[in-house]
Structure 1
Amino acid sequence: MDPALVKYNNMMVNRHKYFRWTGRTARITLAYMVAFPAFMGYLAFTTDVSDIYGIKRMVLTNLQGKWNMRGKRRGDTIVEF
């Protein structure tokens, strides 16, 4: 077997032993665990118009945002303009 592949495999298996929190790893973790989900939640919340606001059904179609975050089928886009 190729020694480079063996070395790569050993590195992958033992990666958790050599992990250190650095500024870079902290920023990446923050981005993937906090910033991205918060951004997606904000996007979904701001573009969602529901019956909670007491708006009639006719007006709802005019107030819906640019993106429709509700269930889609394969091939459908989220853009609604």
Structure 2
Amino acid sequence: MAGGLKHYKLAQDPAFVRLSNMTNNRYRYFRWTPRTARLSFIYMVVVPGIVGYIAYKTDGKYEFRAKLRGDDIREY
């Protein structure tokens, strides 16, 4: 029946093995450089700031409930 004998032989690709090892040990080789500091700042401060600003400016501006076809979704 299926699975009784071990007929499968998998030859691992060395490039995939290296990639797996690199991603598992990424924290060991991380260094703060000007590029990583800039990217971290952008993703932790700038992007949430832009999303928050857009959310704040459009809060209450659109109403999607109880609208019919052709009705305007803008409240003001």
Band of TM-score, shorter chain: 0.5 to 0.7
AA of the residue aligned to 2:15: A
Shift of 1:16: 0.4
**Does the alignment pair 1:3 with 2:3?**
no
Between the aligned partners of 1:35 and 1:16, the Cα distance in structure 2 is: 24
Q: Of the two structures, which has the highest relative contact order with CA contacts closer than 8 Å and spacing of 6 or more?
A: 1
Alignment gaps of 5+ in structure 2: 1-11, 65-72
> 2:57, 2:29 → 1: CA distance?
42
Q: Which amino acid in the other structure matches residue 37 of structure 1? A: P
1:39 aligned to 2:37?
Answer: no
Alignment of 1:2-81 (within 5 A): 2-49=13-60, 64=61, 68=62
Structure 1 segments of 4 or more deviating over 3 A?
Answer: none
Query: Is there any run of 5+ residues in structure 1 with no aligned partner, and where?
Result: 50-63, 72-79
Bigger-Rg structure (1/2)? 2
Distance 1:11 1:47 in 2: 43
The alignment-based identity, stated in percent, is 47
Number of equivalences: 55
| Residue identity matched to 1:43 | I
Give, in angstroms, the shift of residue 39 of structure 1: 0.7
Which TM-score applies when normalising by structure 2?
A: 0.61
Distance 2:30 2:53 in 1: 32
